[in-house]
Amino acid sequence: MSGDAVAPETATVPRRTPTWLVATIAGGFGLFYAYAVWNALGNLIQSVQFAGENGFVLSPIGWVIWILAVIFPIAAFAAAFAIGYRRPAHHLILVLLTGLALTAVFWLNVVAYTELNYASLLA
């Protein structure tokens, strides 16, 4: 036998993160992502109501911007969870935190665009 063979007793199997810990971490971060979705949905509804009260409607670009603001946090959470759920707990936390940071940057871009160009969102 060669000296490179590893005996089954000494072989180490990587330990998986317990399911309850993955669920707890994902659930905690999921609340922050859900807040971003709720906030975007509230602003979409408020923009539609404001435009309607003043005799306008949202333009197609306005709909696209607000719908993307609703969808992006969901997609970011799904991607971050898909990347991190099989990794150790601290890697999952870092991946979900990175996705949340991307969501925050996207949200700031949406807010900046809608504040500076609100007239272009109305038709």
- C-alpha–C-alpha distance, residues 90 and 96, integer Å: 10
pLDDT given at position 74: 98
Contact 15, 48 (CB under 8 A): no
Cα–Cα distances in angstroms (integers) from residue 37 to residues 34, 51, 73, 84, 112, in the given order:
5, 21, 6, 21, 17
pLDDT tens digits for range 40-82: 999 999 999 999 999 999 999 999 999 999 999 999 999 999 9
Which residue has tokens 């539609």? 48
**Strand-pair partners of 122:** 58
Please say whether the beta carbons of 93 and 25 come within 8 A. yes
The DSSP symbol for 16 reads P
The predicted pLDDT at position 122 comes to 85
Q: pLDDT (tens digit, 9 = 90+) per residue, 75-107?
A: 999 999 999 999 999 999 999 999 999 999 999
- Specify the pTM: 0.84
Report which of 65, 32, 29 is spatially closest to residue 48, judged by C-alpha positions.
65
